[in-house]
Amino acid sequence: MERNETELMLRGYGLTTAEFYYRMPDFQSVLNSFVWQDYDLAPDYPRLFKFIEFWQDEIEGPLHSVRFTHRKMIAPGEWRNVVGEFKVH
């Protein structure tokens, strides 16, 4: 079941951005890069490691290195349920 981004953030997911450096299959001395983004759970990063396994199994270009960052967009203390709203002129 696909969840929307807000639901994922409220469940503790954060935006993970990874930059993959890999060697071209025909030109091993050439490095290329690929950027990947998804919502993932720190510190285990199951989606990132699943994608790395997919890359190693299915993509011909061998990985040289992976650099990633993770940012929670909503922390538990930053969100609260508001029932009403008062407007002041």
Our CA dihedral for 27, 30, 35, 40, rounded to 10 degrees, sits at 80
Distance CA 6, CA 89 (A): 31
Range of the domain at 30: 5-72
Establish if 79 belongs to a structural domain: no
Please state the domain count of the chain: 1
Q: Specify the DSSP element, H or E, that contains 69.
A: strand 63-71
Q: What would the pLDDT profile of 8-33 be if each residue is shown by its tens digit?
A: 887 888 999 999 999 998 998 999 99
Q: Residue 35's pLDDT is what?
A: 97
Establish if 20 belongs to a structural domain: yes
Residues of the chain with pLDDT under 70: 1-2, 74-80, 89
Q: Residue 40's pLDDT is what?
A: 93
Establish if 85 belongs to a structural domain: no
Q: Is the pTM of this model over 0.85?
A: no
Q: Residue 76's pLDDT is what?
A: 58
Establish if 83 belongs to a structural domain: no
